[in-house]
Structure formats: C-alpha cells, structure tokens
Chain A
Amino acid sequence: MKELFAILIGAMLVENFVLTKFLGICPFLGVSKKTSTALGMSGAVVFVLVLSQAVTWLANEYLLVPNKLEYLQTITFILVIAALVQFVETVLKKLMPSLYKSLGVYLPLITTNCAVLGSALIFVERDYTFVESVVFGFAAGLGFTLALILFSGVRERLETADIPEAFKGMPITLIAASLVSITFIGFAGLIIS
C-alpha cells in the first residue's frame, strides 16, 4: 500500500509528466486556453492512461517478454494504444453518449499524446507490477490534469494582462509555462519512503 501511495504522489507531483518530464506538451499548450476544455482533455487522458497501462502491461508481460521481443515495445505499445482508443471511442459512443460527447474531439487526439506512450515505457523500465503500473498511469493522468488546470488558470489571467507587444500570444505562454514548470521542480526534494 505504501509503495502505491509513493507511486501516486511521485507520478503526480515529483515527476509530473508535463512539467518535469515534458511529455504531452502538445495538448498542454493546445487546449489550456480555457479551463473547461482543459477539464475535458484531462478527463479523457486519465481515462485512456489507466486503460492503456493495463492493456500494455498485459501485452508486454505475456507477449513480448516470453518471446524476448522487448525491442518491439514502442511499436507494439503504439499499436495497442491506437486500437484501444478507437475501441473505447466506439464503445462510449454506443453505451455512454453523454460522456462521449463531453470528451468530444479530445478522445481520438490522445492516441498521439506522448504521455500515454511515455508512461507505458516507464513502467517497463521500472519493472512495475500490474497494479503498480495502473496506479502509475492513474497518477500520471492526475498530474496531467493538475498541470493543465493550473496552467489554464494562468492563461485566462494572461488574456487580460497588459503584455508587451513582442510577447503577445505564444511567447508569453511559453514563458509562463516555464515558470509553472520551475515551481514544480520544487517538489523534487519530496522523498516518500
């Protein structure tokens, strides 16, 4: 239980995917303009991360490792994630139309979110068990959510701020992102044992 908690806090804060590992920057910058869209995207990411962690762990453990095919991890994981996202989309459309609608276009976008592939490759590197890797995925998703919501708050403030002409738009967004990222490096001293 203690290890799981350590993984949860670790993946969420200490090694936050977006702000300290710099994975999933594209959606981080792309959909953080408004808090409502940020929430939609984060919801989809948590959902897919947990599922993909479970499936990729099984694929790795029972397909790749016995056949000594670890070098195929990247391509296999991408295949698994893409198929999974597509499958989830089909199922949601039928069974939970309201959830499907609220996730909207973000669901298929996640296929190319490198945070999903990144967390799959990380659990292999760290030899996580099945439960551990699922918790890791969940925590990574929560960390992504946290970063996105915090940053969307910053960006909503930037909208009305008096910004020098040269910095308007993307430049000030990137500067703000780096500042938010620096604050998260403060968590690096947090050791849970």
Chain B
Amino acid sequence: MSIIIPVAVVSGLGLVFGLGLSYASKVFEVKVDERIGAVREMLPGANCGACGYSGCDGLAEAIVNEGVHASRCPVGGISVVNAISDYMGVDEGSIDVNVARVLCQGNCDNVKMKYNYLGIEDCHAANVLAGGMDACNYGCLGLGSCKKVCQFDAIVVENGLASIIAEKCTGCGNCVAECPKSIIKLIPVLSGFTVKCNNHDKGGVARKNCKVGCIGCQRCVKVCPSDAITMVENLAVIDPQKCTNCGQCAEVCPQKCITNTIVKRF
C-alpha cells in the first residue's frame, strides 16, 4: 500500500501540470507567422549565435520579418541557404555575400619584368618606382601588402602573385583598400566566372607584356547568352548580377584569363 501514495502524488502532479500546461498553451496561444516555424525547422538548430542573433529562433524571425538573407547562417551550408531561399521565394543568386578576388594572373612565369626590384617588400614602395617592376602596369606586384592587412590569413603570395583562399575570406575589404593597383575586387560568392585581368592596354601591348592578360578580343562578349559581359577600355568585365555561370566565355577566351572560381564557401 505504501508505494501507491507516492506514485499517485508524483504522477498526479505530473498529470495536473501536463494538463495545465496544455490548457495554458491553448488559452495563451500567440499567433505566430507559420513561416517562422518552418524556417526555424530548416536552420541547423545549433543555437550557436554565429549569425549575430540570439539563436536560430532569432535568425528565423529576422529572415521572415526583416528579409535577412539565409546566408547569415554560417553553419548550415549551401543546402540550408538554398532550402530557405526557395521557401522564402528569395533568389539565392542575389546573395549579398562577397569574397575578395585578385583580378590578375600575372605571376613571374606569365608577366615580363621591367627591372629587377630589390627594395623593401611592399607593393606601395615598388609602385612608386615607375609603377612597379612588372611590364604590365595594371598587374599584381606580388609583394604581399594585401597579405599583411588580411586578418584572416586568407591571402597567399606565390610566385609573385597574390591569391585569395575564398573559404577563409570574409569579404571585409581590407585588401581591396590596401592594393595600390586596385586589382582586388569584392565579388558575390556565387558568381563563379571572373575576368582575372585588370589590364586596360590595347590588345597588342597587353599580349606582349603578359601571357594571360585580356587582349580585348571581345569573343566572350559575343558568346555570352545573357549579355553580362561588356568592354570597358579594352577590358572585358562580367556583371555578376547578369552572369548565369554558364561558362561559355571561359571556353572561348584565347588568353584563358576568364576562370571559374565557384567558391565552396559553406
């Protein structure tokens, strides 16, 4: 007999609380936008706060109410971003996450040298000496001024050419501001194809100075089905908003200066 009373008391309490809570949730029901719940389900649920909100609930609410893009979540990966973008009817292509890219492929093998630079290891210093040692006056000097300002170790300098490890790049723009040649640009993550050249010289001059420079032949402009490529002073420029990543421009480019750098950021 003595066991029945404690069992009854505890399970009775549990029953009363359970009923009370379910009743309370009916009485005090708050109408919540059902999309918030659905988006919340798609998020990873780690509640890590890396997005800057109090947790996945906070981000879900911001996505639905304030139109924050799902790519704010750095944990979920591209599949989560796509799923939420589909659900919200947001084009995942209009993602406003940028990574920096070095628009130059002029390493020591590709570009001719004007003179042998033996000064201090700094692009600004080299730049004031007749625009640097590279024959191409628009290209990367490869002395690593951008690398010094990068707080995320996302830049490596190899063979006289800086390149950016897109997985580490946060798009902070420090290197963009630092580069004396202004060849680093912030480009949307999902825009894969970029003209990796910044040379505005005429075709003949460009070809003489660099093996991989844009010579302004306009073959990419003609082949592009979505009119995303325009010529700006002898240089092809791809508009990331119009580019569909079809890749035809990269195939026809005789200088191979259009490259595919689709970033596996997530």
Query: Which A residues lie at the B interface, using CB under 8 A?
Result: 59, 63-64, 67, 69, 72, 75-76, 79-80, 83, 86-87, 90-91, 93-95, 97, 104-105
Contact = CB atoms under 8 A, between A and B. Distances in A.
B248 interface: no
A32 to B, nearest CB: 15
Interface in B10-38: 10, 13-14, 17-18, 20-21, 24-25, 28-30
B54 interface: yes
B55 interface: yes
A170 to B, nearest CB: 18
Given A72-B10, A79-B10, A91 B30 contact: no
A54 B18 CA distance: 20
Contact of A83 (B20, B25, B54, B58): B20
Nearest to B2: A68
A80 B13 contact: yes
B47 interface: yes
B21 A87 contact: yes
Interface residues of B, number: 20
Contacts of B18: 83
Contacts of B24: 87, 90-91
A104 B18 CA distance: 23
B17 A79 contact: yes
Interface of A is mostly: helix
30 contacts: A63-B13, A67-B5, A67-B6, A67-B9, A69-B5, A72-B9, A75-B10, A76-B10, A80-B13, A80-B17, A83-B17, A83-B18, A86-B21, A87-B21, A87-B24, A90-B24, A90-B25, A90-B28, A91-B28, A93-B28, A94-B28, A94-B29, A94-B30, A97-B30, A104-B54, A104-B58, A105-B47, A105-B54, A105-B55, A105-B57
Nearest to A67: B5
Query: Lowest 8 A-B CB distances belong to which pairs?
Result: A83-B17, A94-B28, A90-B28, A90-B24, A104-B54, A93-B30, A69-B6, A94-B30
The B contact surface, by secondary structure, is: helix
Interface of B: 5-6, 9-10, 13-14, 17-18, 20-21, 24-25, 28-30, 47, 54-55, 57-58
Contacts of B6: 67, 69, 72
A79 B6 CA distance: 14
A90 to B, nearest CB: 5
B170 to A, nearest CB: 21
Contacts of B13: 59, 63, 76, 79-80
Nearest to B8: A67
A157 B179 CA distance: 36
Contacts of A79: 10, 13-14, 17
A83 B20 CA distance: 9
B9 A63 contact: yes
Contacts of B57: 105
A90 B21 contact: yes
